[in-house]
Chains A and B, each alone.
Chain A
Amino acid sequence: TPTFAIKKSYVVYLGAHSHGPDFSPLLDSERVTQSHYEFLGSFLGSHEVAKEALFYSYTRHINGFAATLEEEVAAEIANHPRVISVFLNKGRKLH
């Protein structure tokens, strides 16, 4: 019987972007998102699977993405030297 790992949503934080002064929201954002797909794809096996898992690509100032991942994959990503932190997409309260 196949078993299915539980997937949860995570934020993967990679630091800041080094966009130049002539940052183009359209072109550069697309380039950054592609690089996020590539990075995540290297853990998930393919660009396509990464595209399905990733639901936010932070492209302007914050470098990172949010994706639905298995716990083991999240732990593996957290160990990558390019990664500052990986944390659960938790809920916060209005104060």
Chain B
Amino acid sequence: TTRSWDFLGLEHNGFVPKSSLWKKARYGENAIIGNLDTGVWPESKSFSDEELGPIPPKWKGICQKGLDSSFHCNRKLIGARYFNKGYGAAAGPLNSTFDSPRDNEGHGSHTLSTASGNFVPAANVFGFGNGTAKGGSPRARVAAYKVCWPPIDGNECFDADILAAFDIAIHDGVDVLSVSLGGSPAPFFNDSVAIGSFHAIKHGIVVVCSGGNSGPADATVSNVAPWEITVGASTMDREFPSYVILGNKKSFKGQSLSAKALQIGKFYPLVSALDAKAANASAADALLCKPATLDPKKVTGKILVCLRGQNARVDKGQQALEAGAVGMILANNELTGNEIIADPHVLPASHINYNDGINVFTYINSTKSPKGYITPATTKLGTKPAPFMAAFSSKGPNTVTPEILKPDITAPGVSIIAAYTEAQGPTNEEFDKRRISFNSISGTSMSCPHVSGIVGLLKTLHPDWSPAAIKSAIMTTARTRDNQMEPLLNSSNFKATPFSYGAGHVNPNGAMDPGLVYDLSFNDYLNFLCALRYNATQIEMFSEKPYKCSKKISLTNLNYPSITVPKLSGSIAVTRTLKNVGTPGTYRARVENQAGISVSVEPKSLKFKRVGEEKSFTLTLKAKNPKAAKDYAFGKLIWSDGTHYVRSPIVVKAA
């Protein structure tokens, strides 16, 4: 990506300071990052193997070319496989083009290069966002596991293939698995990603998953197992402004990556998609500029104003162009609020927020001959506030185990520029014949590999840390303030909560030295399953040996880096254990309280004399009165020795 690592503090204007996790972790040297996705475009410069040494000897994977003789691996892209039998079971017989790990969609190349692409100078999208593209672990090796194919009823990746890929990836020897896909939350052992990642962490593999794009509604987060790192999406300090100027001289700042621009200074007739409705189309569909809903006679030569639905990245531009529009204004609905996304449209276009959209529609409805203009897009850095949560980013609470806060963390996931397939145009629209090496896309799919890349760095720096220790380090060092030192906001300018950002915005330099971690072993997860009432016979099927559930089991006492009590009745004592992974020191507890809940910590200080030493504490939560915290209340626990700040969100709701 060309900006996000700077925004995350790993570099500054291309300069990498000695204190950067990149330098300390040798850019993720020899970590192996696997990606379950749409495959990979092997010709991308992000995956060239210049200056890389031999493939790590522990690697047991293969380059499964299938029937694609042009596909190749190298010392960077050390493995590729494809899994299509589960897809075939749903789709019917598959032709020979399905026998390849090649990425014909773009998503897999984008996510894999975000996690671990090489440095590639002069990467940009039609000149916008120009910079050196970099992955989070640029010197790590990568392996692509293609499990996603053209959609069937909107779904691309099937459980049977996902499970097959996990099974083989564990065997191949990956250190990190990046999984930017998901479905509706289900009990853990009816969920292929939860099952696969459960087996992966047993072998020390960290699994990073996207939380989903079903926000901003509550309880929409997916990939909610406690052994997964679940990632939300937020913005960074880069914009691609393109102004919408109306005939009444009002102007609104939108976002765009349109390669084409309108004739400078010329105003064009403006038409609402609703007014351009085809005779047989519904008003609601026309307003969204859905296929075959627009009347070309009403659109030709005009700037068309379309309403955005849940998904910004649909073929509205193609519909507008086909109907004869010269430009398009994409206006948010109320739910998507202020979240505006720069996309590479097929015509001059600008995406504007909800309030500005209302102004544009009001102007059209109140003017006899409405006119407008869209200024060419530009690249602007250092914007404020940043980050703020993306409206699309799925939110907690966790619907499977509400005692585990999800998502765990947020990372950049809006307008991310990374490698792309050259089998598709940048809009993935049918008649977009353009081909570009790098593209800008948005989603929790894009934030997930940022965290995967950071995990790769931590794996190189701390090879002895467990997956839970790495997750704890990432979570307890996260930030909950933006670049104006104000609390993180959502896309409607309200204060966001841990249900949006988990522990906060990822802070890679902090994660390399967290001081203390909340560690978990595989047995702790088995105890967690005991608490979910899996019986001894079932637990033995995972543990491969007799396993006895300990007597005192409670879901709230899983040694998780965040603390969630969804049904507080009276008071509850929650226990946690901290492990020293830093220097000897005395840590003191501080609680940022939440309305209606009293929180006390015992003991209030913990003295660590050596590395690896573990100390436990109890956090007692009490509702101040029966009416307190009827809705979720949010606070924070911070352990600090004056140098390290080990932060945990506290989320409580009274029963």
Q: Are A94 and B37 in contact (CB under 8 A)?
A: yes
A58–chain B nearest beta-carbon distance, Å = 5
Q: Which residues of A contact B193 (CB under 8 A)?
A: 92
Q: Which residues of A contact B90 (CB under 8 A)?
A: 9, 89, 91
Q: Are A58 and B542 in contact (CB under 8 A)?
A: no
> Which residue of the partner chain, among A9, A60, A85, contacts B160 with CB atoms under 8 Å?
A9
Q: Are A56 and B85 in contact (CB under 8 A)?
A: yes
Q: Which residues of A contact B170 (CB under 8 A)?
A: 60-62
Q: Are B164 and A56 in contact (CB under 8 A)?
A: yes
Q: Given contacts A15-B541, A56-B86, is CB(A92)–CB(B160) below 8 Å? A: no
Q: Which of B173-229 contact A (CB under 8 A)?
A: 180-183, 186-187, 189-193, 195-196, 199, 202-203, 210-213
Q: Are A92 and B195 in contact (CB under 8 A)?
A: no
Among residues of B, the one whose C-beta sits closest to the C-beta of A62 is B167
Q: Which residues of B contact A88 (CB under 8 A)?
A: 159
Q: Are A93 and B154 in contact (CB under 8 A)?
A: yes
Asked if B489 is at the interface (CB within 8 A of a chain A CB), the reply is: no
The CA of A25 and the CA of B148, in the complex, are separated in Å by: 26
The CA of A81 and the CA of B537, in the complex, are separated in Å by: 8
B152–chain A nearest beta-carbon distance, Å = 6
Q: Given contacts A18-B544, A92-B182, is CB(A64)–CB(B171) below 8 Å? A: no
Q: Scoring A residues 27 to 66 as 1 if CB is less than 8 Å from chain B, else 0, what string do you get?
A: 0000000000000000000000000000110111111101
Stretch at the interface among B47-55, B72-80, B131-139, B442-450: B442-450
Q: Are A94 and B158 in contact (CB under 8 A)?
A: no
Q: Are B210 and A95 in contact (CB under 8 A)?
A: yes
Q: Are B156 and A92 in contact (CB under 8 A)?
A: yes
> Which residue of the partner chain, among B37, B155, B171, B192, contacts A61 with CB atoms under 8 Å?
B171
Asked if B94 is at the interface (CB within 8 A of a chain A CB), the reply is: no
A94–chain B nearest beta-carbon distance, Å = 5
Q: Scoring A residues 75 to 86 as 1 if CB is less than 8 Å from chain B, else 0, what string do you get?
A: 000000110110
Greatest chain B CB density within 10 A among A14, A59, A60, A93 is at A93
A61–chain B nearest beta-carbon distance, Å = 5
Q: Are A89 and B160 in contact (CB under 8 A)?
A: yes
Q: Are A92 and B163 in contact (CB under 8 A)?
A: no
Among residues of A, the one whose C-beta sits closest to the C-beta of B195 is A13
The CA of A84 and the CA of B38, in the complex, are separated in Å by: 29
> What class of interface size applies to chain B in its complex with A?
35 or more
Among residues of A, the one whose C-beta sits closest to the C-beta of B447 is A95
Q: Which residues of A contact B538 (CB under 8 A)?
A: 15, 84
Give the A-B pair count, Cβ closer than 8 A.
140
Q: Are B203 and A94 in contact (CB under 8 A)?
A: no
> Which residue of the partner chain, among B181, B190, B540, contacts A94 with CB atoms under 8 Å?
B181
Asked if A16 is at the interface (CB within 8 A of a chain B CB), the reply is: yes
The CA of A14 and the CA of B38, in the complex, are separated in Å by: 27
B333–chain A nearest beta-carbon distance, Å = 20
Q: Which residues of B contact A94 (CB under 8 A)?
A: 37-38, 105, 107, 148, 156-157, 180-181, 443, 445
The CA of A60 and the CA of B203, in the complex, are separated in Å by: 12
Q: Are A13 and B159 in contact (CB under 8 A)?
A: no
Among residues of A, the one whose C-beta sits closest to the C-beta of B538 is A84
Q: Which residues of A contact B196 (CB under 8 A)?
A: 62
Q: Are A95 and B152 in contact (CB under 8 A)?
A: no
Q: Are A95 and B183 in contact (CB under 8 A)?
A: no
B-side interface mostly: helix
A79–chain B nearest beta-carbon distance, Å = 13
> Which residue of the partner chain, among A58, A68, A91, contacts B158 with CB atoms under 8 Å?
A91
Q: Which of B40-93 contact A (CB under 8 A)?
A: 85-86, 88-90
Asked if B573 is at the interface (CB within 8 A of a chain A CB), the reply is: no
Q: Given contacts A92-B158, A93-B155, A93-B157, is CB(A59)–CB(B86) below 8 Å? A: no
The CA of A88 and the CA of B90, in the complex, are separated in Å by: 11
Q: Which residues of B contact A18 (CB under 8 A)?
A: 544
Asked if B153 is at the interface (CB within 8 A of a chain A CB), the reply is: yes
Asked if A74 is at the interface (CB within 8 A of a chain B CB), the reply is: no
Q: Which residues of A contact B182 (CB under 8 A)?
A: 92-93, 95
Q: Which residues of A contact B192 (CB under 8 A)?
A: 11, 92
Q: Are B212 and A89 in contact (CB under 8 A)?
A: no
Q: Are B171 and A66 in contact (CB under 8 A)?
A: no
> Which residue of the partner chain, among A9, A14, A85, contacts B190 with CB atoms under 8 Å?
A85
Asked if B162 is at the interface (CB within 8 A of a chain A CB), the reply is: yes
Among residues of B, the one whose C-beta sits closest to the C-beta of A91 is B155
Asked if B268 is at the interface (CB within 8 A of a chain A CB), the reply is: no
The CA of A17 and the CA of B543, in the complex, are separated in Å by: 9
Asked if B122 is at the interface (CB within 8 A of a chain A CB), the reply is: no
B648–chain A nearest beta-carbon distance, Å = 26
Asked if B168 is at the interface (CB within 8 A of a chain A CB), the reply is: yes
> Which residue of the partner chain, among B105, B191, B213, contacts A95 with CB atoms under 8 Å?
B213
Q: Are B107 and A61 in contact (CB under 8 A)?
A: no
The CA of A94 and the CA of B110, in the complex, are separated in Å by: 12
The CA of A59 and the CA of B164, in the complex, are separated in Å by: 9
B184–chain A nearest beta-carbon distance, Å = 9
Greatest chain B CB density within 10 A among A15, A58, A62, A94 is at A94
Q: Are A25 and B171 in contact (CB under 8 A)?
A: yes
Q: Are A95 and B212 in contact (CB under 8 A)?
A: yes
A24–chain B nearest beta-carbon distance, Å = 12
Asked if B166 is at the interface (CB within 8 A of a chain A CB), the reply is: yes
- Can you list 26 pairs linking A and B with CB atoms under 8 Å apart? A11-B192, A13-B189, A14-B541, A56-B85, A56-B164, A62-B166, A62-B167, A66-B160, A68-B89, A84-B542, A85-B187, A85-B189, A87-B190, A89-B159, A91-B158, A92-B155, A92-B158, A92-B162, A93-B155, A94-B37, A94-B180, A95-B180, A95-B210, A95-B211, A95-B212, A95-B444
Q: Which residues of A are in contact with B by a Cβ distance under 8 Å?
A: 9, 11, 13-18, 25, 55-56, 58-64, 66, 68, 81-82, 84-85, 87-95
Q: Which residues of B are in contact with A by a Cβ distance under 8 Å?
A: 37-38, 85-86, 88-90, 105, 107, 148, 151-160, 162-164, 166-168, 170-171, 180-183, 186-187, 189-193, 195-196, 199, 202-203, 210-213, 443-445, 448, 537-538, 540-544
12 more A-B residue pairs beyond the given contacts A60-B171, A91-B153, A92-B157, with a C-beta to C-beta distance below 8 A: A15-B541, A16-B202, A17-B544, A60-B167, A68-B89, A87-B191, A89-B158, A92-B156, A92-B183, A94-B180, A94-B443, A95-B212
5 pairs of A and B residues whose beta carbons are closest in the complex: A91-B155, A15-B541, A66-B160, A9-B89, A95-B210
